[in-house]
Amino acid sequence: MKTRLILFVNFLVFIWVTGVSFANEAPHQVGVFILNHNIANFKDYVIMETALPIRHIENIEEVEIKPIEGIKSGLIAYAT
């Protein structure tokens, strides 16, 4: 029983350490859209007239993106 607990704790520590060590390599950009930038910087790539608030989360809006080579059409969500 004690051995299983030690192995389990070691496993949890291993998972936590590997997650933290790879966190700086997480993507911060998808195509032309960069995280933590104002949506106004990307006005050439989105159709702002289509902005709608998300249901039950009114401070977040979704807007359609214009056709961009290499990106399938879709929505971008941003905080207002």
32-46 pLDDT, tens digit per residue, is 899 989 999 999 999
What is the C-alpha to C-alpha distance for residues 38 and 79, in angstroms, rounded to an integer? 9
What are the pLDDT digits (tens) for 18-37? 766 666 677 788 888 999 89
Tokens of 75: 């929505």
Q: By the 8 A CB rule, do 29 and 35 touch? A: yes
pLDDT tens for residues 39-73? 999 999 999 999 999 999 889 999 999 998 888 88
